[in-house]
Amino acid sequence: MNPKTCMFPFTSLSVSPRGSIRPCCMYNSPDMPTWENVKDLTPEVPWPSKYIKILQEKMLGDNIEVSTPLCNSCWEPENAGLDSHRLRYHRALKVLNDDLITNPKLTFLDLQFGYLCNLSCIMCHPEESSQIQKTIFKLIDTTSSIEQKKYYQSKVNLYDNHDWTVDEISYQKVLELCRPVKSIKISGGEPFFNPKFKPFLEFLLSKKVPIENLHITTNLTIYDKEIIELLNSFPNVRFRFSLESIEKEDDFLRWPSKWEEKQKNLHAYLSQLRTKNFVSNTCIQSLNLFSFFKTTNYLKNLNYNITIQHQIAENSLAGLYYSDKQYIQYYLKNNDKNFISNYLEKIMNHNNNSELQVNYFLGMAKLQNKNMQNEFPIWYEFHNKYIHE
């Protein structure tokens, strides 16, 4: 098997918050709304779909990396020596053999459970969160820069607001997809905030083919005893939570979440869930570059054997790709070489538009009645040269 072949197109199907079909949740493109969508595929969602079949062929051809530019969210970190969604999935599959390629079989469903969300996380995208969508519309109204306005508009105008969890026909089609599958991953939006989430878990518990592995991702803002009881009824649950930082920094990055409440919820889930399979997802970006090890230490001190996964905020204006080069250089000079160093050295060679990021952060700070200089002094020191008003 070619070492670059990805098993996702041969075994999995991902449904985006707005119903687009793709092999995995990291397969991204601005024209996603034009892809095959649950709502249009009748009478049921086929697997492999036409588009996934094309990707299977590419994964069996030569020059896989060149022919699959939409997989860059895996190729970029892998080429910088970092872990990727593809590599994590291959480790979870345990057995990689040609049989899976010659006899593709849907065994894993990756469901982004609609886009209903209660947070405007700074690294998130309008296609994945109803809140960040509202926030970007507010930023469009308040920014005076034409370039900035255009950037925001390009992020919100593409979507038709279809949410497969709200559209009953789409929802029923996804239930059908779930029936024969044993492993399901659910993320969002924020699933715990979605009124369909508990009925959906009840459906999974009632179906004839039992769920062997259930992966859940939450932003930890909601504590719900009934959800705990439902999750405790599944044999294997992987409970994944998002933690970009701690204390007031996390409040800024995941606005309007409140650290005290989030911390309380985290302790409740850790102690009341039957599973001991906990994963923290920390998305490394411009504003937590100097603090992500502090977050790691916080998690280690909880003594719950939490697996810590670091991801790079790719395709996001909050990502390091848009940060000032001297800021990155300052980090590289003042910190021991670590897993992120190669990636940072690599992006030093790219041209970017830091002014877009600066205006975005200033706009977000204004909405939160906060000041970037007080909240993120190191970032501010290297980026205030881009502030013109």
What is the contact surface with ligand SF4 in residues (CB under 6 A)?
Answer: 6, 8-9, 23-24, 26-27, 71, 73-74, 85-86
Q: Which is nearer to ligand SF4, 217 or 323 (CB)?
A: 217
Report, in Å, the least distance between residue 92 CB and ligand SF4.
Answer: 12
Report, in Å, the least distance between residue 8 CB and ligand SF4.
Answer: 4
CA-CA distance, 150 to 349, in Å (whole number)?
Answer: 26
DSSP helix/strand/coil, 258: coil
Query: What is the layout of strands, in order, in the sheet containing 213-218?
Result: 21-22, 12-15, 108-112, 183-187, 213-218, 237-242, 278-284, 307-312
Report, in Å, the least distance between residue 314 CB and ligand SF4.
Answer: 10
Q: Which is nearer to ligand SF4, 10 or 331 (CB)?
A: 10
In this structure, what token pair is assigned to residue 192?
A: 């715990």
Report, in Å, the least distance between residue 310 CB and ligand SF4.
Answer: 16
Whether 98 contacts 90, CB under 8 Å: no
CA-CA distance, 383 to 373, in Å (whole number)?
Answer: 10
Q: Which is nearer to ligand SF4, 16 or 148 (CB)?
A: 16
Report, in Å, the least distance between residue 184 CB and ligand SF4.
Answer: 17
DSSP helix/strand/coil, 316: coil
CA-CA distance, 52 to 41, in Å (whole number)?
Answer: 14
DSSP helix/strand/coil, 312: strand
Q: Which is nearer to ligand SF4, 9 or 19 (CB)?
A: 9
Q: Which is nearer to ligand SF4, 52 or 139 (CB)?
A: 52
Q: Which is nearer to ligand SF4, 22 or 173 (CB)?
A: 22
CA-CA distance, 75 to 336, in Å (whole number)?
Answer: 25
The widest CA-to-CA distance across the chain, in whole angstroms, is 61
Report, in Å, the least distance between residue 10 CB and ligand SF4.
Answer: 10
